[in-house]
């Protein structure tokens, strides 16, 4: 690992944060250096601190400890991410015999300099009880790899030297803080403490030295492990099972009590080669590297082997058996720990979060796409660490008692049930015609309701514009694009394969793609008529047909919401191709409602009218129709909008968001409705459903 400390950069941080103590500016700098290394910390892991003297509101100087706050990532931390606490007071807590986690957090909150600061790290007392100005703590892969091996203490001293301190795993909080302080006081010459199954602390009275020591010790461990690589076993990867089949089946097995999950596939040569080993199950179905990971990944992964070219029916049986056994084992672990510890806890769901599949790689599940990615990052690092560890000695996992303490930590349990989940949390939606105005509104409302949204279009430029706009507000993990031609069966099939590989399946399909053409029947040529039919009717047919196997494999229901048109019931003159194609798609939706009800898939239609644009994105239909309509009525663009406002009964403007609201209404299953038509047109009497 490279030591990235640079004196010029360090001075620049002091200048950049001149309104803060220079020690805090340097703390930000070296924290970011640490946070930029995934092999040191992952997704908010690790913590750092600095002690300095700061004047209070009375201009009295106080000893303050600034420690990483909850929710901040070291790689992007700012001074605001380091809540300051009264150091002298925190040190007075050390003589106490006991201090509950809840009371400890209360003491933190009541002795902060700024009441609006984030909660300090749960390991604040560890940082407080050590005397050094700068303390760095990471879960370095190389260090944790060594701590999870048999005879790890002698191995650590062999690799890192005899002057280090070593502690067994102790839950973060008051007991750990006291143990660290006592160990240090036994040998004040030490500059590093390793916590088994947890990580490493380095410390010094200046930022550079504390950081240098972290890199030094991690490099010693990395170099030792690297020298063992020469005897690593290499295997040819297994054949990849059909992801289009396996992933929806996994989503089926993961779903419970209305909860659906996002899946993420992590695949590279190292992962595939490792999982192809004959002893892969034995090596990798073992406990987490550090209990910090258990909240994200659970303690054990689930191993699923389809390398014998299983049929789909056999895949279902194999997945069901594997999940049943996994859940039984998890429930036994929970029950036995609750009984042994004489505590009351709310059980978490027993489903796995990490699945190891030879030929496919690591598949992770999360309530959000971000959760699934975080689990995959941790699982990938864990697999690599276990692989390296096998070259040194047998893996030594932490006992279940400590795993349970972390997984069912009271500070985590109090969060259960707090915060209402969005109604479409865990759902995956596909919206065709994604480069248009209506797709903006549909996508926005689905995202606000918690769904992950895939937008498809044949026009990549327009699609990029819409995806960029939605990603800016909802994040790139929640919005994905698929360049797809809904009229082409092969393109649709490839698009659905990409969707399944990226997210695992589909819950909400919104056929929205449509084109228009203005011509009286006597002037309408056959080629143009077929082109409109291909997009507006065949496009709906193609995506519904492609979605049915996914819904069937998931066995958790679903929604298809077709964006029809008020023209279904109230066609317009010189608009025959559009009106006929939309009417056909509408009728197709009713047939789908009949055929898919047995799968608990609901199919409903939305009849919208007069939606011109959305936040700078134009409607493709009105780009075609608008000029003719304006010319016929001698109106400018604003005049045309006003004309359509005045045409409907409510005298209102119909927006893309209104269509989005209608989609969300159907997708949330608030009523037991299928085969229905919902007008979103302000009230057009001629278009009343009948």
Residue 411 has pLDDT above 80, yes or no: no
Write out the two tokens for 239: 């054949």
Write down how long the chain is: 690
In whole angstroms, give the CA distance from residue 232 to residue 245. Answer: 33
In whole angstroms, give the CA distance from residue 274 to residue 257. Answer: 35
Element (H, E) at 83: none
Residue 420 has pLDDT above 90, yes or no: no
In whole angstroms, give the CA distance from residue 574 to residue 532. Answer: 14
Write out the two tokens for 258: 């209305």
Contact residues for 543 (Cβ-Cβ < 8 A; gap 6+): 430, 432, 486, 492, 509, 511
Sign for the pseudo-dihedral over CA of 272, 246, 464, 475: negative
Element (H, E) at 224: helix 207-227
Read off the pLDDT of each residue in 670-676 and give the average, rounded to a whole number.
97
Residue 416 has pLDDT above 60, yes or no: no
In whole angstroms, give the CA distance from residue 375 to residue 300. Answer: 12
Element (H, E) at 217: helix 207-227
CATH topology of domain 7-227: L-fuculose-1-phosphate Aldolase (3.40.225)
pLDDT band at 310 (very low <50, low <70, confident <90, very high): confident
In degrees and rounded to multiples of 5, residue 45 shows phi and psi of -75, 165
Q: Is residue 434 within 8 Å of 456, Cβ to Cβ?
A: yes
Q: Is residue 323 within 8 Å of 298, Cβ to Cβ?
A: no
Closest alpha carbon to 305 in 276, 330, 334: 276
Q: How many CB atoms lie within 10 A of CB 305?
A: 17
pLDDT on residue 28: 98
Name the residue with tokens 């290499």.
234
Read off the pLDDT of each residue in 310-314 and give the average, rounded to a whole number.
89
Write out the two tokens for 21: 């103590």
Cα 398 to chain centroid, rounded: 27
Read off the pLDDT of each residue in 391-406 and give the average, rounded to a whole number.
94
pLDDT band at 639 (very low <50, low <70, confident <90, very high): confident
Q: Does the annotation count 578 as an active-site position? A: yes
Q: What is the pLDDT of residues 59-109, one digit of tens each?
A: 999 999 999 998 899 999 999 999 999 999 999 999 999 999 999 999 999
Of 29, 395, 578, 644, the catalytic one is 578
pLDDT on residue 233: 60
Q: What is the pLDDT of residues 322-369, one digit of tens each?
A: 999 999 999 999 999 999 999 999 899 999 999 999 999 999 999 999
Collapse the DSSP code of 45 into the 3-class scheme (helix H, G, I; strand E, B; otherwise coil) and give the result.
coil
Write out the two tokens for 30: 């070296």
Checking DSSP bridges between strand 452-457 and strand 428-431, what pairing results, if any? parallel
Domains of the chain, by residue range, sit at 7-227, 247-410, 428-618+654-680
Element (H, E) at 139: none
CB-based burial label for 585 (10 Å; 0-12, 13-18, 19+): buried
Eight-state DSSP code of residue 149: B
Class of domain 247-410: alpha beta
Mean of the per-residue pLDDT values for the chain?
Answer: 93
Eight-state DSSP code of residue 574: T
Question: Which has more confidence, 322 or 45?
Answer: 322
Residue 415 has pLDDT above 60, yes or no: no
What is the largest distance, in Å, between two alpha-carbon atoms of the chain? Answer: 98
* β-bridge partners, 614: 617
pLDDT on residue 615: 76
Checking DSSP bridges between strand 479-483 and strand 617-618, what pairing results, if any? unpaired
In whole angstroms, give the CA distance from residue 431 to residue 451. Answer: 12
Q: Is residue 128 within 8 Å of 176, Cβ to Cβ?
A: no
pLDDT on residue 417: 57
Q: Is residue 314 within 8 Å of 192, Cβ to Cβ?
A: no
pLDDT band at 414 (very low <50, low <70, confident <90, very high): low
Element (H, E) at 560: strand 558-563
CATH number of 428-618+654-680: 3.40.50.720
**180-188: Cβ within 8 A, 24+ apart:** 180/126, 180/129, 180/130, 181/94, 181/126, 181/129, 181/130, 184/130, 187/163
pLDDT on residue 413: 65
Strands (DSSP E) found in 314-427: 354-357, 361-366
Write out the two tokens for 281: 């199950």
The pTM for the full model equals 0.93
Read off the pLDDT of each residue in 464-479 and give the average, rounded to a whole number.
96
Element (H, E) at 381: helix 369-389
Write out the two tokens for 534: 């291909």
Closest alpha carbon to 305 in 374, 247, 376, 356: 356
How would you label 184-199 residue by residue, b for 16+ Cβ within 10 Å and e otherwise? beeeeebbbbbbbbbb
Sign for the pseudo-dihedral over CA of 291, 294, 296, 302: positive
pLDDT band at 658 (very low <50, low <70, confident <90, very high): very high
Topology match between the domains 7-227 and 247-410:
yes
pLDDT band at 45 (very low <50, low <70, confident <90, very high): confident
CA 463 → CA 26, 432, 533, distances in Å? Answer: 43, 10, 22
Q: What is the pLDDT of residues 212-239, one digit of tens each?
A: 999 999 999 999 999 987 655 666 777 8
DSSP-based helix, strand, coil % in the chain, nearest 5: 50, 15, 35
Q: How many CB atoms lie within 10 A of CB 521?
A: 11
* β-bridge partners, 677: 605
Q: How many secondary structure helices (H) and strands (E) does the chain include?
A: 26, 20
pLDDT on residue 70: 87
Closest alpha carbon to 49 in 32, 34, 31: 31
In whole angstroms, give the CA distance from residue 403 to residue 294. Answer: 7
Q: Is residue 625 within 8 Å of 516, Cβ to Cβ?
A: yes
Strands (DSSP E) found in 191-301: 192-195, 199-204, 262-266
How would you label 70-95 residue by residue, b for 16+ Cβ within 10 Å and e otherwise? eebbbbebebebbbbbbbeebbebee
In whole angstroms, give the CA distance from residue 46 to residue 195. Answer: 13
């Amino acid at each position: 690992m490279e030591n990235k400390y640079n004196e010029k950069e360090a001075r620049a941080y002091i200048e950049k944060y001149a309104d803060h103590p220079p020690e805090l500016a340097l703390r930000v700098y070296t924290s970011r250096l640490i946070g930029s290394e995934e092999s040191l910390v992952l997704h908010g892991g690790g913590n750092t601190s600095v002690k300095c003297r700061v004047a209070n509101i009375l201009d009295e100087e106080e000893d303050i400890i600034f420690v990483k706050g909850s929710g901040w990532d070291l790689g992007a931390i700012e001074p605001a991410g380091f809540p300051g606490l009264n150091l002298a007071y925190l040190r007075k807590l050390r003589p106490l015999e006991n201090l509950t986690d809840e009371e400890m957090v209360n003491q933190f909150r009541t002795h902060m300099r700024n009441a609006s600061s984030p909660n300090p790290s749960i390991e604040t007392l560890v940082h407080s009880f050590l005397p050094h100005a700068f303390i760095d703590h990471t879960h370095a892969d190389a260090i944790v790899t060594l701590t999870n091996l048999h005879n790890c203490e002698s191995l650590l001293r062999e690799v890192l030297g005899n002057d280090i301190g070593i502690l067994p795993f102790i839950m973060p909080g008051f007991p750990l803080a006291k143990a660290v302080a006592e160990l240090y006081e036994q040998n004040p010459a030490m500059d590093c403490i390793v916590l088994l199954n947890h990580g490493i602390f380095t410390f010094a009275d200046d930022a550079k030295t504390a950081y240098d020591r972290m890199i030094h010790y991690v490099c010693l461990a990395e170099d030792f492990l690297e020298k063992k690589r020469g005897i690593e076993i290499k295997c040819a990867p297994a054949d990849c099972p059909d992801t289009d089949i396996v992933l929806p089946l996994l989503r089926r097995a993961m779903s419970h009590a209305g909860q659906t999950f996002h899946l993420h596939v992590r695949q590279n040569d190292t992962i595939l080669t490792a999982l192809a080993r004959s002893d892969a199950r034995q090596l990798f179905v073992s406990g987490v590297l550090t209990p910090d990971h258990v909240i994200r990944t659970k303690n054990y992964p689930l191993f699923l082997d389809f390398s014998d070219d299983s049929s789909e029916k056999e895949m279902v049986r194999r997945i069901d058996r594997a999940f049943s056994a996994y859940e039984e084992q998890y429930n036994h672990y929970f029950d036995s720990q609750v009984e042994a510890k004489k505590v009351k806890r709310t059980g978490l769901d027993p489903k796995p979060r990490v699945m190891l599949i030879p030929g496919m790689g690591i598949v992770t599940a999360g309530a959000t796409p971000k959760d699934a990615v975080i689990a995959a990052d941790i699982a990938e690092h864990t697999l690599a660490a276990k692989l390296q560890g096998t070259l040194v000695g047998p893996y030594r996992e932490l006992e279940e008692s400590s795993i349970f303490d972390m997984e069912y930590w009271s500070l985590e349990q109090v969060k259960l049930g707090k915060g209402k989940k969005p109604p479409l949390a865990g759902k995956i939606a596909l919206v065709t015609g994604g480069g248009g105005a209506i797709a903006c509104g549909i996508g926005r409302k689905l995202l606000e309701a918690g769904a992950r949204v895939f937008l498809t279009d044949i026009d990549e430029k327009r699609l990029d514009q819409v995806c960029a706009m939605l990603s800016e507000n909802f994040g790139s993990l929640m919005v994905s694009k698929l360049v797809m031609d809904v009229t082409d069966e092969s393109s649709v099939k490839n698009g659905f394969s990409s969707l399944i590989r990226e997210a695992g399946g589909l819950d909400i399909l919104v056929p929205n793609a449509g084109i228009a053409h203005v011509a009286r029947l006597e002037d309408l040529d056959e080629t143009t008529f077929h082109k409109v039919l291909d997009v507006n009717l065949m496009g709906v047919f193609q995506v519904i047909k492609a979605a049915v196997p996914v819904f069937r494999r998931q066995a958790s229901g679903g929604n298809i919401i077709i964006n029809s048109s008020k023209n279904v019931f109230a066609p317009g003159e010189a608009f025959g191709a559009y009106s006929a194609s939309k009417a056909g798609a509408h009728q197709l939706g009713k047939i789908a409602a009949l055929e898919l009800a047995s799968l608990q898939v609901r199919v409903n239609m939305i009849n919208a009218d007069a939606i011109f644009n959305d936040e700078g994105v134009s409607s493709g239909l009105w780009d075609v129709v608008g000029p003719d309509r304006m010319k016929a009525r001698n109106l400018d663009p604003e005049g045309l909008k006003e004309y359509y406002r005045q045409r409907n009964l409510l005298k209102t403007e119909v927006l893309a968001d209104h269509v989005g609201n209608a989609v969300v209404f159907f997708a949330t299953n608030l009523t037991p409705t299928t085969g229905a038509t919902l007008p979103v047109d302000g009230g057009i009497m001629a278009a009343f459903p009948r």
